[in-house]
Amino acid sequence: MQAKKVIGLIVAGVFIGVANGFFGGGGGMICVPALLLTGLSNKQAQATAILIMLPISIASAIVYYTNGFVDLDMLLYTAIGSVVGGVVGALLLKKLSNNILKYIFALVVMAAGIRMLI
């Protein structure tokens, strides 16, 4: 791998870590485009991004837990919903137009962002 790519990936890693630790998520949104820039295919970038997010999320979660920012009762129910939703979403993906979903997603996230600022 070229030195330029390695440096780029290290810089991306710094930002991904900050997003993950500071916001408790959203690192994947930085990770996938960064990996695409290094020449990985779409599927490879998404798969590798999930593996990257896993240990980072565990590390951040441990810090959140020790700071008392984890409610284990809530976790159980949300995790059940999330795992089921994740499987359904992955299956639905094949049937839906990806780009229209991207528009909807961008607008919903924008609305949520504005709502949080007001």
Residues 5-34 that bind another protein (CB under 8 A): 6, 9-10, 12-29, 31, 33-34
Site string for another protein, 37-76 (x = CB under 8 A): -x-x--xx-xxx-xxxxxxxxxxxx-xxx-x-xxx--xx-
CB of residue 98 to another protein, shortest distance in Å: 8
Q: 20 burial class (0-12, 13-18, 19+ CB within 10 angstroms)?
A: buried
Q: 26 burial class (0-12, 13-18, 19+ CB within 10 angstroms)?
A: middle
Place of tokens 């999930």: 50
3 sits near another protein (criterion: CB under 8 A): no
CB of residue 117 to another protein, shortest distance in Å: 4
d(CA 42, CA 32) in angstroms, rounded, equals: 8
CB of residue 65 to another protein, shortest distance in Å: 7
